[in-house]
Amino acid sequence: MNGIINVLKPPGMTSHDIIYFVRKKLKMKKVGHTGTLDPEAAGVLPVCVGKATKAVQYITDKKKKYRTTIKFGIQTETYDKYGAIVESVDVESIDMNKLQEVLQDFRGVIKQLPPIYSAIKLAGKKLYQYALEGEAVEIQEREVEVYSIEVVDYNKKDEVVLDIECSKGTYIRSICFDIGKKMGCGAAMWQLVRLASTPFNIENSYTLEEIEKAATELTIDKMLISVDIIFKELPIIEIKTTAHSAAINGGPIYGKGILQDVELFEAETEVRIVCDNEFLGLGIIKYSSEEDRKYIKIDKMFI
């Protein structure tokens, strides 16, 4: 059993809880998730099963989309509603024109300080462990990219809902905290849902109840998505059956083992390798100056 299940993580469970659940229901050990979601957050958590676990890092590196509720007038230790309140002020309404100006500062490549209550490691220790022990540490700024940040709802008082599309490693809690600072009243993240982890989205995700039912009825295969969906933007190159063994063993594939004319591809082009309609893995088109010809260098196999 190999593939990716687009899991809808409910609030109140850790990402590791989801892995344990899938392992137990599928009776498989080789299961891995693709990007941690905070326990109280909900939403898309792609889970790789079997040989698809080789693709975990590729999915983790893809951009993400979140919907967050930000509450103004409150600051907490954890930058969300679950932390101890550090400061609070009464906010009767939000100046939406000012907010739109502030949001401009959060589009594109930005630098942010991760929350001290986070799982980032410093000197082999997680940041939240330092916080719990009351030990002060210097946190380094991180560069992330916000592709879009838009207001989607406003309760006419102190809560605004934002949709944020961003690169991996972006802390939405930090964005909420920083927006609050720029607005001059403080803010905290009140709710978080991951809408998408490219190319997976919440509309076609599966609940734990649906996964359990499919596992019981032995229909889980219908939920498994092929690994090659992650690389759909890459061109396909087909190899002959005679080259199958060489490919899975990491050997170079030359023209006689390729169904297409490899010379038509630009050197250094990353490609999806397919054999008999089966996705095998990734390769890179290389040029050999000694032999004056191109070939496929195997990059990663997923079988």
Tens of pLDDT along 190-238?
999 999 999 999 999 999 999 999 999 999 999 999 999 999 999 999 9
Same domain for 269 and 121: no
Are the CB atoms for 197 and 46 separated by under 8 Å?
A: yes
- For residue 135, what are the CA distances in angstroms to 84, 87, 127, 129, 173? 17, 21, 10, 9, 21
- For residue 176, what are the CA distances in angstroms to 75, 149, 190? 10, 11, 9
Q: Read off the pLDDT band of 186 (50, 70, 90).
A: very high
Would the pLDDT of 131 be above 90?
A: no
Is 96 strand, coil or helix? Answer: helix
Count of structural domains within the chain: 3
Same domain for 83 and 185: yes
Q: What is the mean pLDDT of the chain?
A: 93
Q: For residues 303 and 150, which has the higher predicted lDDT (pLDDT)?
A: 150
Q: How many CA atoms lie within 13 A of 252 on its CB side?
A: 12
Is 174 strand, coil or helix? Answer: helix
Same domain for 206 and 191: no
Range of the domain at 163: 64-195
Would the pLDDT of 123 be above 80?
A: no
Q: For residues 63 and 133, which has the higher predicted lDDT (pLDDT)?
A: 63
pLDDT for res 122 = 79
pLDDT for res 118 = 80
Q: Which residues pair with 183 in a beta bridge?
A: none
Would the pLDDT of 124 be above 90?
A: no
Same domain for 189 and 72: yes
Q: How far apart are CA 101 and CA 107, in angstroms?
A: 11
pLDDT for res 206 = 98
Would the pLDDT of 251 be above 90?
A: no
Active site residues: 38
pLDDT for res 136 = 79
Same domain for 203 and 56: yes
Same domain for 216 and 256: no
pLDDT for res 238 = 95
Q: For residues 116 and 191, which has the higher predicted lDDT (pLDDT)?
A: 191
Same domain for 106 and 144: yes
Q: For residues 132 and 43, which has the higher predicted lDDT (pLDDT)?
A: 43
Please report which residue ranges of 119-263 form alpha helices under DSSP H: 127-132, 172-183, 208-216, 244-248
Q: How far apart are CA 27 and CA 81, in angstroms?
A: 36
Same domain for 278 and 205: no
Instruction: Look up residue 247 and give its two tokens.
Output: 């490919």
**Nearest residue to 208 via CA among 4, 2, 19:** 19
**Rg of the chain over all Cα atoms, to the nearest angstrom:** 23
**Nearest residue to 7 via CA among 188, 156, 239, 210:** 210
Would the pLDDT of 297 be above 80?
A: yes
Would the pLDDT of 177 be above 80?
A: yes
Same domain for 149 and 85: yes
Predicted model pTM = 0.90
Same domain for 69 and 191: yes
